[in-house]
Chains A and B, each alone.
Chain A
Amino acid sequence: MNKVRIIEDGVTYFADGRYEARIKVLEVPRSLKFPDGFKVSCVLLDKNSKTVRLVLDNHQPFGYHIHTALPQNKNARLQVDVKNYAEAIRLFFREARKVANEEK
């Protein structure tokens, strides 16, 4: 049986509670869909405007990609050249900090 294991499913509020970073990482069987064996979803929410500001996830046919034009354009995806989920998460944190710093 193909097992799916939850690696992380958590939320942290930062910048005085204005932003919510929500990260979910699942270990899934390696496949064409998830070649590195991880399903990742990182979401940054602005609680003031109640909008999603940043999403990084990996699914077919895009692989790891980031939605950088939120909330205006949900279909704008930027494929990111990362080797594994760890690099993707690092990138998400970097971008999330940028969003929070730019809007201080």
Chain B
Amino acid sequence: MKKSNALKIKFRSLDQWEKELLNLPKSKKGYVQPKDVVIFDSLNSFRNFMTLQKLELLTIIASAKPKSVYELSKMLDRALGPVQNDCKGLEGLGFIILEQEKSGRKTIIPKLKFNYDRIIVELPDHHYELSFKAAA
């Protein structure tokens, strides 16, 4: 059976992280962030970063495996510049790698950071409160 790999998105605010860090030495176990985990400070931060275009771009990289950023932009039917920017953004936060061909034209090939087939967003505990009075 094919193994299913997931990239996990988790959340912790800077305040929460600070508190955790200040309490760490008391606990025996340290924390080393796994390579398949990306942590944002809030759901809003993640939503503002991960635009629909970036998600689409990730999907194409995973499924069609483009041989260059140019090919990727053609597949997405988007201009090269913004696709390059999105690629750089995704690379910066560890979603993809931009690998340069060792020979030939030294083309930049966009690849997933590892072979993940899903992104799991582990939503933070939130108490949602909808005020009908405010909405009215």
Contacts and interface: CB of A to CB of B under 8 A. Distances in A.
Interface of A: 5-17, 20-21, 23, 25, 27, 47, 50, 86, 89-90, 93, 96-97
28 contacts: A7-B24, A7-B25, A7-B31, A8-B24, A9-B32, A10-B32, A10-B39, A12-B14, A12-B39, A12-B40, A13-B39, A13-B41, A13-B45, A14-B14, A14-B40, A15-B41, A17-B40, A17-B45, A17-B48, A21-B14, A21-B17, A23-B17, A23-B21, A25-B24, A27-B25, A27-B30, A93-B14, A93-B18
B66 interface: no
Contacts of A50: 92
Nearest to A100: B14
A7 B30 CA distance: 4
A98 to B, nearest CB: 12
A48 to B, nearest CB: 9
B32 A6 contact: yes
Please give me the 3 A-B residue pairs with the lowest Cβ-Cβ distance, nearest first. A17-B49, A14-B41, A16-B48
Given A9-B33, A10-B31, A11-B39, A25 B21 contact: yes
A17 to B, nearest CB: 3
Task: Determine the main DSSP class of B at the interface with A.
Answer: helix
B22 interface: yes
Interface of B: 12, 14, 17-18, 21-22, 24-25, 30-33, 38-42, 44-46, 48-49, 89, 92-93
A89 B40 contact: no
A89 B32 contact: no
A17 B40 CA distance: 7
A27 B40 CA distance: 26
A33 B46 CA distance: 39
Given A17-B40, A17-B48, A47-B93, A86 B22 contact: yes
A22 to B, nearest CB: 10
Given A7-B30, A25-B24, A90-B22, A12 B48 contact: no
Contacts of A5: 30
Nearest to A42: B21
